[in-house]
Amino acid sequence: EVQLVQSGAEVKKPGESLKISCKGSGYSFTSYWIGWVRQMPGKGLEWMGIIYPGDSDTRYSPSFQGQVTISADKSISTAYLQWSSLKASDTAMYYCARQGLLWSGWLPFDYWGQGTLVTVSS
């Protein structure tokens, strides 16, 4: 069974750093991309970026470039999303999701993590 299991909720202060995780199981972790999606309170879904754990190829949405860092450790089938200096506006639910890329083209986000709630407040 394919599963993406995310790390638990975090409460941080502005200016602090944070790294949240997404562990994949039940499939070949290095053969699929892992994307990150933000959902601010009461708002819609925003695509942040994506990483291919096989070779760490990473792509960012222009809206999030320079604001976050996406990485992966294929040895433990885990992808990460990190901030060096959090802001109150980073308060949101963050989801990871799996995306395939075949010779014929992209596949949709077929499996999702349960989400990690990040709260940034002084």
Partner 1 sequence: EIVLTQSPGTLSLSPGERATLSCRASQSVSSSYLAWYQQKPGQAPRLLIYGASSRATGIPDRFSGSGSGTDFTLTISRLEPEDFAVYYCQQYGSSPEFGQGTKVEIK
* CB of residue 39 to partner 1, shortest distance in Å: 9
Shorter beta-carbon distance to partner 1: residue 45 or 88? 45
7 by Cβ neighbours in 10 Å (0-12 / 13-18 / 19+) ranks as middle
Closest CA to 114 of 1, 7, 2: 7
Which one, 108 or 122, has the nearer CB to partner 1?
A: 108
Q: 17 vs 65, which CB is nearer to partner 1? A: 65
**Quick one: which of 76, 81, 74 has its CA closest to 96?**
81
Residue 104 CB, shortest distance to partner 1, in Å, is 9
The residue (of 61 and 119) whose beta carbon lies closer to partner 1 is: 61
Give the nearest distance from C-beta 121 to partner 1 in angstroms.
21
The nearest distance, CB 99 to partner 1, in angstroms, is: 7
Whether 17 contacts 68, CB under 8 Å: no
Closest CA to 90 of 58, 62, 117: 117
Alpha helices per DSSP H over 15-120: none
Contacts with partner 1 by CB under 8 A lie at 35, 37, 44-47, 50, 59, 61-62, 95, 97, 99, 105-110, 112-115
